[in-house]
Amino acid sequence: MKAMIILNPSSGKEKAADYAEKIEETLRNQYNDIDIRRTEKEGDAAAFATEACVALYDAVIAMGGDGTINEAINGLAEQAHRPALGIIPLGTVNDFARALNIPLDPYEAISILDGQNLRPVDIGKINEHYFANVIAVGAIAEASYSVSPELKTRLGPLAYFMEGAKSFLSGETIELCVEHDSGKWEGQTFLLIAALTNSVGGFEALAPKASVNDGKFHAFIIKKMSVPKIAALIPSLMKGELQESEEVEYIRSSFLNVTSGKHHVVNIDGEEGEPLPFKAKVLQSHLEVFVPIINE
Q: Which residues are catalytic?
A: 271
SS3 breakdown of the chain: % helix, strand, coil, rounded to 5?
A: 35, 35, 30
The number of C-alpha atoms within 13 Å of 197 and in the hemisphere containing its C-beta is: 25
- Cβ within 8 Å of residue 235, ≥6 positions away: none
- CB neighbour class for 19 (10 Å; exposed up to 12, middle 13-18, buried from 19): buried
Q: Residue-wise over 67-78: b if at least 16 C-beta within 10 A, else e? A: bbbbbbbbbbbe
DSSP 203: B
Q: Is the dihedral of CA 291, 292, 295, 296 positive or negative?
A: positive
Q: How far apart are CA 41 and CA 92, in angstroms?
A: 19
